[in-house]
Amino acid sequence: DAGVIQSPRHEVTEMGQEVTLRCKPISGHNSLFWYRQTMMRGLELLIYFNNNVPIDDSGMPEDRFSAKMPNASFSTLKIQPSEPRDSAVYFCASTERGRGMVPLYSNQPQHFGDGTRLSIL
């Protein structure tokens, strides 16, 4: 089965430009997560969706960041305008529906895409 698919793999752009990162979760998974990873801060959760609805965006650093999930098989993370401090690796992950009594959350492991390495000059 195909895993989580992210594009592009690498993005280099100049400060002030709009950046759009894309993610296709594993088919049948109903939760999707966007992370940012840097050496200093490790892996940070930016936002997550459950059944295409944003549940928690408290990790989004500022209004320059936005994320959408128009359907179960596609999500975008957009940065506008981009800044050099946004340079990082951005991961998308997905997880299947929980097997517990409460279907709204999942205690199942997350599966990660290959990431997008973003460099803002």
Partner 1 sequence: QKEVEQNSGPLSVPEGAIASLNCTYSDRGSQSFFWYRQYSGKSPELIMSIYSNGDKEDGRFTAQLNKASQYVSLLIRDSQPSDSATYLCAVNEAGYSTLTFGKGTMLLVSP
Looking only at residues 68 through 97 of this chain, which bind partner 1 when binding is defined by CB under 8 A? Answer: 91, 95
* Candidate list 42, 53, 70, 71; residue touching partner 1; CB under 8 A: 42
Instruction: Give phi and psi for 85, each to the nearest 5.
Output: -70, -5
For the chain, how many residues are written? 121
Stretch that binds partner 1, among 10-18, 20-28, 67-75, 98-106 (CB under 8 A): 98-106
Out of 50, 69, 82, 120, point to the residue binding partner 1 (CB under 8 A). 50
Q: How many residues bind partner 1 (CB under 8 A)?
A: 24
Nearest CB to partner 1, comparing residues 42 and 70:
42
Does 2 engage in binding with partner 1 (CB under 8 A)? no
86 backbone dihedrals φ, ψ, rounded to 5°: -80, -5
What gap in Å lies between CA 73 and CA 69, rounded to an integer? Answer: 8
Q: Whose CA is closest to 118, among 25, 6, 21?
A: 21
